[in-house]
Amino acid sequence: MENNIRYSHMSHWKGIPYKQIPNFRDFYYEDKTNIAYYQDWDMILKYHAGTGYEGLEVAPWDLWDILKLFKDLGEFKGFVNDRGLEISGMFHGLGPAHDKRNHEMLLAQFKGAVDNIITMGGKHINVCPGIDYAAVGPMSEEGFQNTIALINECGRYSEDHGVLLGLHNEFFCAMNYPQHRRMIESTDPSCVHYCIDTAQVSLLGEDLLTFYDDYHDRISTWHLKDTADPKVAEEVRYAPSNPEIQDDGHRWFWEPGKGVLDFEGLFKLMKKHGFKGWATVETDGTPDLLASMAYASYFYNHEMGKIYR
């Protein structure tokens, strides 16, 4: 049976210090713990392939560590491909796009990110359209229009180079709930698409199924994760300190089925609208990355696969 959805996993294995550990047994005997199992790209990529993922989505903060271990991103691509995976794309923060004085710098950074994705063989760049609400909000009309102008310019560059730009809003961004749909409708649909982060748009205040139904023709890809806290209050979304990091250890993000989002309904809609392509599974916030990615792979491939494969 054809797989309409190809699952990628977002790299949250921060600071991987080795490319490949040649003396694994000696490494293990240094402290006789499981730390040796999570120290090199070779093992971690094999975990991805072994748990059913076809791809890996990287983030800009990964590149610094990758380039310490590989001579260039082309070598990293080959290393990933040799272990049965592809690079699906990369996340990218657009930065302070509300201020036109930053556009030349931000556009150059964006072009560099697209070029990096092409080198790695990826097809998606998922773009957070600005900085935190606390630094900008409430968004002025001038700031809104400046942001839209830069997004469209980035979209044209990525489209011309065969990479899909997917807007990726987060619940504490400057482009917050009051501007969310207007942002999508103000951008150029020929080159600016949307990456639905199932948890983030729900935390933001959107009803996930209604939002997807309304904008299904703009969706380029997904970040899939659950949440138990839809429609977070403004005082949290607009807080001056990073709302994703809570002092009490509160988790915004959960494995699928461990929160309250209706994934069964979502996958029925994905089948209705005929979505095909990459979807990235995210397991940020978990205390056990391997357990979460394995469980999520089972959930999407088997439980949701019964609905839409």
Which residues lie below 8 Å from residue 292, measured CB to CB, with a gap of 6+? Answer: 255, 283, 286
User: CA-to-CA distance for 137 and 186, rounded, in angstroms?
Assistant: 19
**pLDDT at residue 1 in the model:** 43
Q: Write the DSSP string, 136-194.
A: HPSPPHHHHHHHHHHHHHHHHHHHHTT-EEEE---TTBSS-HHHHHHHHHHS-TTTEEE
**pLDDT at residue 246 in the model:** 85
Extents of the domains making up the chain = 5-306
Fold of 5-306: TIM Barrel (3.20.20)
Q: Which helix (H) or strand (E) segment is 16 a member of?
A: none
**pLDDT at residue 139 in the model:** 93
User: CA-to-CA distance for 274 and 271, rounded, in angstroms?
Assistant: 5
Q: For the segment 123-165, what is each residue's pLDDT rounded down to a tens digit?
A: 999 999 999 999 998 999 999 999 999 999 999 999 999 999 9
Burial of 29 (0-12, 13-18, 19+ CB in 10 A): exposed
User: CA-to-CA distance for 80 and 74, rounded, in angstroms?
Assistant: 10
At residue 291, does pLDDT exceed 80? yes
**pLDDT at residue 2 in the model:** 67
- Any idea what DSSP says for residue 301? I
Residue 193 sits at φ, ψ, to 5 deg, of -110, -165
The share of the chain scoring above pLDDT 70, in percent, equals 99
Q: For the segment 99-125, what is each residue's pLDDT rounded down to a tens digit?
A: 999 999 999 999 999 999 999 999 999
Nearest Cα to Cα of residue 133 among 283, 285, 249, 244: 244
Burial of 134 (0-12, 13-18, 19+ CB in 10 A): middle
Q: For the segment 5-42, what is each residue's pLDDT rounded down to a tens digit?
A: 999 999 888 889 999 999 999 999 999 999 999 999 99
Average pLDDT over residues 242-246: 86
